[in-house]
Amino acid sequence: MAGTLEKSDVPNLHSATPTSEVKSLAEDQGIEAAKDIAFGSIAGIIGKTIEYPFDTIKVRLQSQPYPPIYTGPLDCFRQSLLSPEGGLRSLYRGISAPFFGAAIETSSLFFSYRIAQSTLQTFLPSLPQRTGDKLPLEALLACGAISGAVTSLLLTPIELVKCKLQYPVTDNPSTHKPRGPLSVILSVFRNHGILGFWRGQLGTLIRETGGSAAWFGSYEAVSIFLRNHSSRSQPPPPPSSERPTSSSPLHHQLLAGASAGVAYNFVFFPADTIKSRMQTEDLGAVSSPPHAKTHRPPPSTFWHSGAELWRQQGLRGLYRGCGITVARSAPSSAVIFAVYEGLRGWAV
């Protein structure tokens, strides 16, 4: 009877309120996750459209044999435009996989970044606990690194297919029929199994973990600087219920995003160079002639590839293609952040 009285006589004020709060929190988290995925995907695809031709040049510079066949980015660009395959077609070869990859990468980065912040707030009570409160910059750097580590697991297979599609396979492109993503996927699985898709994972992990910390950290730091600088001459904008940076002026978002792109690509660029070489060496593009099909050495490790590249070309080889990468990453990253923040502000 006591149990019956509890259920019938006691109002639901105490029992229903926590349940409704948990349900509301779960719904809010689901909505925020959907926003991260949708808005991050849109921003990533737009950014990839801008940067892809430059990324193709970067991969060809990174993966070329020794001695180099390109004297620099401009020469690589010129040879690509004059190739029998056709200029823009050559530069945009294999873009379908990167479109898919850009949507996954960018949405995963923003989603993991937000989840990492919520997790830190849960387990570290000393951090700001209210929704919308900005965490200290060092905590945001850690959240960026976590988001990059998570994203690297999704990104390595996509980048492996992308790199194989971007790099010319034979010396005579006029006699080579360009492969599509499906044929590359089948070839990798047939020759290396399922784990073959994660070849170069260590390089992606290093680049994404450190690079994402620099990406988000630079964006947040520059945004804070610009916001503080502008507040000296005018009242600060009203705080947003989700992300304070969403109320920043567009030119602040673009400048902070451009700075983030430069920081992301420059600091850990050698890891990306080694990864690209590892993912294309089975095509005969790195250490052996294209027609040397027999007695090819087994796939090298990340550290062996890095040491071999250092021995052959030194620091310059590790940063080959960095200039064009930084040049394309600034506008691309600026657009990604501006589109993402704009969509989030619109959807509030």
Read off the pLDDT of residues 62-98 as tens digits, 9 standing for 90 and up: 777 778 888 888 888 888 888 766 667 778 877 877 7
pLDDT tier, 161 (very low <50, low <70, confident <90, very high otherwise): confident
Query: Which residues make Cβ contacts (< 8 Å) with residue 143, sequence separation at least 6?
Result: 113, 116, 117, 120, 135, 216
What is the rounded CA–CA span in Å between residue 333 and residue 339? 10
pTM: 0.72
- A 10 A CB-CB count for 198 gives 15
Give the pLDDT band (50/70/90) at residue 243: very low
Range from 13-22, 151-160, 252-261 that averages highest in pLDDT: 252-261
Q: What is the pLDDT of residue 241?
A: 39
HEC profile for the chain? Answer: CHHHHHHHHCCCHHHHHHHHHHHHHHHHHHHHHHHHHHHHHHHHHHHHHHHHHHHHHHHHHHHCCCCCCCCCHHHHHHHHHCCCCCHHHHHCCCCHHHHHHHHHHHHHHHHHHHHHHHHHHHHCCCCCCCCCCCCCHHHHHHHHHHHHHHHHHHHHHHHHHHHHHHCCCCCCHHHCCCCCHHHHHHHHHHHHCHHHHHCCHHHHHHHHHHHHHHHHHHHHHHHHHHHHHHHCCCCCCCCCCCCHHHHCCHHHHHHHHHHHHHHHHHHCHHHHHHHHHHHHHHHCCCCCCCCCCCCCCCCCCHHHHHHHHHHHHHHHHHCCCHHHHHHHHHHHHHHHHHHHHHHHHHHC
219, 277 in Cβ contact below 8 A? no
Rounded mean pLDDT, 280-285:
63
How far does CA 99 lie from the centroid of its chain? 12
| C-alpha to C-alpha distance for 110 and 121, rounded to whole angstroms | 17
- Give residue 9's pLDDT band: very low, low, confident or very high (50, 70, 90): very low
pLDDT score of 21: 54
pLDDT of residue 235: 56
The confidence band for 343, taking pLDDT boundaries of 50, 70 and 90, is: very high
Q: What is the Cα–Cα distance from 1 to 82, expressed in whole angstroms?
A: 88
Q: Is the pLDDT of residue 224 over 50?
A: yes
On average, the pLDDT of the chain sits at 79
Tell whether the model's pLDDT for residue 293 goes beyond 50: no
